């Protein structure tokens, strides 16, 4: 039921998502990829449908969903438009922190679909080691002064706020998190994103020089950023990023099957699918996609059920799905032949988009190190 303040549906309706994807997200995907345009129309439609408030509490007008629904939304979006999916993924990751520690006004704006947020963790100094920011927060007369060289922020210059990390203000610990309104004076974008994939997600660097925010914009306690990152952001991000990879694999596999079953060697009266080699590659693609979806569902079950292996699964799932998606999209390029090298088959976009997941922090290689330590009983940090 809707109320007067919030015209959105009060529950998550996957059919609404599917309709928006087929009417708005999918038709725009090729042009977003070609021109690098930010997916504004899709975000406005998702916001109006309540989907930007998916994980916001019903107390502030949100749909009150959690990891499972967020993962599903990102997976389905990624199958149509990876840029839109990653913008939404980062919005949910930031929203999770704001829901836990933010002020009511911004939480309500997110729930109403009027506020887009994102994560600003990665820095030029500590690179993919996002848990160790080198940027600073200093108490000033007028508030807190932030200085930083952020290396990648999805939706840079497009989002309304950044969930920002810095060294602590005064406390012990590795970091503190902040809500930084995107229009704060002192924030600049040194150059615009022009990536090989995810071309519409505007993942540009952002520099902060003498940026001033009120002390109340601290998200969580001073020095507690590590717990915010690992306890709140990590499970959401790992699951959604794995969903992103599964959606990408699913789309590439579907398009490859369509191409090989519909493409003929006329002189032989055979289709590409009549070649056992092609069918074997398709089989590998299908198996890898299904294995990753099964692991993703098991990770969700482990988290929701409070299972002992939940954190191990959370670490595994992004590494497994991210790597598999690079293999599956590579196979899609192979089975579709030279035709795949051009745009019309559609798999080369997924091939390019898939590569981001492996280097988004925690990167696959860092996850391999964490998982190796976890199974050997060695502390992950330290």
Ligand X SMILES: Cc1cc2nc3c(=O)[nH]c(=O)nc-3n(C[C@H](O)[C@H](O)[C@H](O)COP(=O)(O)OP(=O)(O)OC[C@H]3O[C@@H](n4cnc5c(N)ncnc54)[C@H](O)[C@@H]3O)c2cc1C
Give the shortest CB-326-to-ligand X separation in angstroms. Answer: 13
Q: Given candidates 365, 372, 378, 381, which one binds ligand X under the rule CB under 6 A?
A: 365
Cβ atoms of 323 and 364 within 8 Å: the answer is: yes
Pairing of strands 136-140, 204-213: unpaired
String marking each residue 117-156 x if it binds ligand X according to CB under 6 A? -xxxxx----xx-x--------------------xxxx--
Give the shortest CB-152-to-ligand X separation in angstroms. Answer: 3
Instruction: Using alpha carbons, list the distances in angstroms from residue 283 to 257, 292, 322, 332.
Output: 10, 14, 19, 11
Our finding on whether 161 is near ligand X (CB under 6 A) is no
- Tokens at residue 79, please? 């199958």
Our finding on whether 326 is near ligand X (CB under 6 A) is no
Pairing of strands 264-265, 176-181: unpaired
**Bond prior to 362 in cis (omega within 30° of 0):** yes
Give the shortest CB-365-to-ligand X separation in angstroms. Answer: 3
* 382: number of Cβ within 10 Å: 5
Nearer to ligand X, 275 or 366 (CB): 366
Nearer to ligand X, 36 or 58 (CB): 36
Nearer to ligand X, 12 or 203 (CB): 203
**Residue 202: Cβ-neighbour burial (10 angstroms; 0-12, 13-18, 19+):** buried
CA 48 to CA 27: how far, in whole Å?
19
Our finding on whether 43 is near ligand X (CB under 6 A) is no
Cβ atoms of 74 and 17 within 8 Å: the answer is: no
Q: Which of residues 167-206 bind ligand X (CB under 6 A)?
A: 195, 198, 201, 203
Q: Give strand ranges (E) for the chain.
A: 117-120, 136-140, 143-153, 161-166, 176-181, 187-188, 204-213, 218-219, 264-265, 270-271
Give, as one character, the DSSP assignment of residue 115: -
Our finding on whether 359 is near ligand X (CB under 6 A) is yes
Give the shortest CB-359-to-ligand X separation in angstroms. Answer: 4
* 367: number of Cβ within 10 Å: 22
What dihedral angle (degrees, nearest 10) is formed by the CA atoms of 148, 152, 157, 159?
-100
CA 151 to CA 128: how far, in whole Å?
9
- Binding residues for ligand X, total number by CB under 6 A: 25
C-alpha atoms less than 13 angstroms from C-alpha of 192 in its C-beta half-sphere:
11
Nearer to ligand X, 230 or 257 (CB): 230
Nearer to ligand X, 53 or 205 (CB): 205
Q: Given candidates 26, 361, 371, 380, which one binds ligand X under the rule CB under 6 A?
A: 361
Q: Which of residues 18-37 bind ligand X (CB under 6 A)?
A: none
Q: Given candidates 45, 51, 69, 90, which one binds ligand X under the rule CB under 6 A?
A: 90
Cβ atoms of 63 and 56 within 8 Å: the answer is: yes
Nearer to ligand X, 49 or 153 (CB): 153
Our finding on whether 356 is near ligand X (CB under 6 A) is yes
Give the shortest CB-304-to-ligand X separation in angstroms. Answer: 26
Our finding on whether 111 is near ligand X (CB under 6 A) is no
Nearer to ligand X, 198 or 232 (CB): 198
Our finding on whether 363 is near ligand X (CB under 6 A) is yes
- Tokens at residue 8, please? 């959105």
Pick the piece of the chain touching ligand X (CB under 6 A) from 1-9, 112-120, 230-238, 266-274: 112-120
Pick the piece of the chain touching ligand X (CB under 6 A) from 37-45, 65-73, 216-224, 364-372: 364-372
Give the shortest CB-237-to-ligand X separation in angstroms. Answer: 9
CA 207 to CA 56: how far, in whole Å?
29
Interface contacts to ligand X, rule CB under 6 A: 90, 118-122, 127-128, 130, 151-154, 195, 198, 201, 203, 356, 359-361, 363, 365-366, 369
């Amino acid at each position: 039921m809707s109320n007067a303040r919030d015209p959105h549906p009060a529950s998550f309706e996957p059919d609404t998502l599917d309709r928006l994807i087929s009417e708005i997200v999918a038709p725009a995907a090729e042009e977003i990829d070609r021109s690098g345009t930010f997916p504004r129309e899709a975000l406005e439609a998702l916001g109006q449908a309540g989907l930007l408030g998916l994980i916001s509490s019903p107390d502030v007008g949100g749909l009150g969903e959690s990891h499972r629904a967020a993962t599903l939304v990102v997976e389905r979006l990624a199958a149509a438009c990876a840029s839109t999916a990653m913008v939404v993924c980062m919005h949910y990751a930031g929203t999770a922190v704001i829901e836990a520690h933010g002020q009511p006004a911004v939480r309500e704006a997110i729930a109403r679909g009027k506020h887009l947020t994102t994560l600003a963790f990665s820095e030029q100094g500590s690179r993919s080691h996002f848990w160790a920011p080198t940027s600073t927060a200093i108490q000033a007369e007028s508030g807190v002064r932030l200085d930083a060289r952020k290396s990648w922020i999805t939706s840079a210059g497009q989002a309304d706020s950044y969930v920002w990390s810095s060294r602590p203000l005064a406390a012990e610990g590795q970091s503190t998190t902040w809500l930084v309104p995107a229009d704060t004076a002192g924030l600049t974008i040194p150059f615009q994103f022009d990536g090989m994939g995810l071309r519409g997600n505007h993942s540009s660097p952002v520099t902060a020089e003498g940026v001033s925010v009120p002390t109340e914009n601290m998200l969580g306690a001073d020095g507690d950023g590590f717990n915010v990152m690992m306890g709140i952001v990590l499970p959401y991000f790992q699951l959604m990023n794995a969903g992103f990879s599964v959606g990408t694999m699913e789309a590439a596999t579907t398009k490859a099957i369509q191409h090989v079953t519909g493409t003929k060697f006329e002189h032989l009266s055979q289709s590409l699918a009549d070649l056992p080699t092609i069918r074997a590659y398709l089989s590998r693609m299908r198996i890898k996609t299904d294995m990753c979806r099964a692991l993703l569902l098991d990770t969700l079950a482990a988290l929701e059920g409070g299972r002992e292996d939940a954190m191990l699964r959370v670490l595994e799932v992004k590494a497994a799905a991210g790597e598999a998606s690079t293999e599956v999209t590579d196979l899609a390029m192979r089975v579709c032949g030279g035709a795949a090298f051009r745009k019309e088959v559609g798999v080369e976009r997924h091939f390019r988009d898939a590569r981001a997941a492996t280097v988004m922090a925690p990167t696959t290689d860092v996850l391999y190190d964490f998982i190796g330590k976890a199974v050997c009983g060695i502390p992950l940090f330290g």
